[in-house]
Amino acid sequence: MFTLRFISCITALCIINACTPADTPNPEPNLPHPNSGPAYTASGHAPQHGLDLFLHVARQKQKNICLSPYSAHTALALVRPGARGETLRQIDRTIGPVETLAAQARTTSLPLELANLACIEQTLPLKPEYKQALPSGSYLSADFINHPDLERTTINRWTADRTHGRILNIIPPNVITPLTRMALINAIYTKAEWEHPFNPAKTADKPFHLENGQTTSCPTLQHTAHYRHIDSRMGEAIAIPFKKRQDKQETCLIAILPKKGTTLSQHLSTLTPADIRTIRQQLATATPRKTLLEIPKFQTETSTDLTAAFAKTGIPDACDRNKANLSGITDSRPPLHIAKILQKTYFEMNEKGIEAAAATALIAEKSLIPSAVRFDSPFIWIIADLDPETTPYFIGTLYTPAR
């Protein structure tokens, strides 16, 4: 039996695919139809599935984070039908084909809920083809010019409702102003059960070795089951499966522990999107083996301004008032640009499974023997389908497991 203890630096990428409860079919994702906008412009380009975004943020923060690449990409999919020229090409290279995002929602084993809102200033002369391209039921007329804070409250209330109260105040005060012309919102929520639940009676406080050399105590889950597990130059990784639905993708939480003697910050400084894809590929082909797993029970919430990160890793033109080409939305002058991309996330992992929620707000303005695997130091966590060619729904790091 193999024992895996995740008790130190863990890099975790959390990828969640969408689905509904096991006794009901997956709903059709509420995304713009691929045929309702311009033709896809990034054929032959391999999208990074948000991994470059995660690594950029994680290297800067060096603390617990949780991101939802899937939510962010879905919000960008809402602006895509109105993008043109290089702005469109950058969005396509970043999010990949919209139909691929939609396919994930239909094929995952996770019970995922998705919702989109397109809040548009009532005086903005929208092009009919852009309005028609928006997902059914997502359009909402707004009065940003005269009542910006009232509209902010409406958006925040909608987001809280769609995330079961887990995401509050996605848009903070003073972000919506009389210059705001569009607020495009995606909300994502899931509550999934493990294939092999942890026994609460075995949960116990155990040491967790912090990056600064100190040790703290944290509630630690423990279970022996057959898990996919690998040990490579990129660290030790395990796939903790969720309940699988018939004919659906196997979905799991992937936890990645840096090599002994390497801190999470050091690990992140050299880790690449290709490395994470390789880990996922190796786990997908690994044979499950009997393993004693120990991993922290934890909860984390993150608020992140992704504007600069997206400008750096994928869509610089859309965020530049002088370069953005969103002329497929409106001919109004001055032209629109993306002023803010904000995201809030919630993630909790316990004996039964996980609960995770995220919302992204895109604001457009005018301008063997059981070996033991123990996670007892900082690590990366990922909830994902084993298929490495899918976009993460959530991804994060755990530096401190305190609730």
The answer to the question of residue 152 being in a domain is: yes
pLDDT tens, 347-382? 999 999 999 999 999 999 876 455 677 888 888 888
What confidence score (pLDDT) does residue 15 get?
Answer: 33
The answer to the question of residue 77 being in a domain is: yes
The answer to the question of residue 17 being in a domain is: yes
Q: Which residues neighbour 250 within 8 Å (Cβ) at sequence distance 6 or greater?
A: 109, 241, 244, 385, 386
pLDDT tens, 107-153? 999 999 999 999 999 999 999 999 999 988 899 999 999 999 999 99
The answer to the question of residue 306 being in a domain is: yes
The answer to the question of residue 62 being in a domain is: yes
What confidence score (pLDDT) does residue 54 get?
Answer: 95
What confidence score (pLDDT) does residue 365 get?
Answer: 87
The candidate with the shortest Cα–Cα distance to 305, out of 343, 272, 271, is 343
Q: Which residues neighbour 60 within 8 Å (Cβ) at sequence distance 6 or greater?
A: none
The candidate with the shortest Cα–Cα distance to 114, out of 359, 332, 355, is 359
The answer to the question of residue 167 being in a domain is: yes
Tokens of 51: 């991994």
SS3 164: coil
Report the domain count for the chain: 1
The answer, yes or no, to whether residue 232 has pLDDT greater than 90, is no
Give me the mean pLDDT over the 167-185 stretch: 96
What confidence score (pLDDT) does residue 8 get?
Answer: 43
The CATH number assigned to the domain holding 122 equals 3.30.497.10
* Domain interval for residue 192: 2-398
The answer, yes or no, to whether residue 14 has pLDDT greater than 50, is no
The answer to the question of residue 403 being in a domain is: no
